Amino acid sequence: MDSRPSRFGVGPRIAASALASAALAGLATYQWPDVCRLRALANPVVIAVAVALLAVGVPIWLAGVVAAMRAYNHDQLVTSGVFAVVRHPIYAACIVFNLPALALLTRSWPMLLVPLAAYAVFRASIRREDEYLASRFGPAYKEYRARVPELVPMPWRRVAR
């Protein structure tokens, strides 16, 4: 793989799938509110969980964007900071934290399918980025890839260097 991916990676594909599925979920919720509304959990619980997810997801997303843009501008592999906890922190923040939080805030179970659509696009698209990084950074990226989880941050599982 010779051609360098865009600085945005597969993010636009993930965003497009999330927006399209959110539009469908929103339409379904608007059309059939009695069927689609989450009523099983108390509103304060849902809000608290959503706020907690955003409190984790937004800083991960922001730190990932800043580090990724710096690394992209200098053609470097970044493996520290949030990248030491998860290989794709920008996508992780959106798929694992921010989209589920927003889905909870809408109180709509179809909106909970939006992160699944985003994850499906991530899985289908991420290989090109990984292949580029492996060809560009060689053994350093392969070691990093073996050590750091792809999407779900698991800091308690970090392997010592």
SS3 108: strand
Residue 15, in any domain of the structure: yes
The predicted structure's pLDDT at residue 2: 57
What angle (nearest 5°) sits at the alpha carbon of residue 48, between those of residues 38 and 59? 115
Residue 2, in any domain of the structure: no
Residue 1, in any domain of the structure: no
**Number of independent structural domains in the chain:** 1
Which position has the token pair 């889905």?
A: 103
Residue 37, in any domain of the structure: yes
Q: What are phi and psi of 79, to 5 degrees?
A: -130, 10
Residue 156, in any domain of the structure: no
Sorting pLDDT into bands at 50, 70 and 90, what band is 7? confident
**pLDDT exceeds cutoff 80 at 158:** no
**pLDDT exceeds cutoff 80 at 124:** yes
Helix axis angle, 99-106 to 43-73, nearest 10°: 150
CA–CA separation, 71 and 79 (whole Å): 10
Print the domain residue range for 88: 11-150
**pLDDT exceeds cutoff 90 at 92:** yes
Residue 127, in any domain of the structure: yes
The predicted structure's pLDDT at residue 43: 85
Q: What are phi and psi of 108, to 5 degrees?
A: -125, 120
pTM of the complete model: 0.87
The CB-side HSE value for 75 (13 A sphere, CA atoms) comes to 6
The predicted structure's pLDDT at residue 161: 46
Sorting pLDDT into bands at 50, 70 and 90, what band is 63? very high
SS3 1: coil
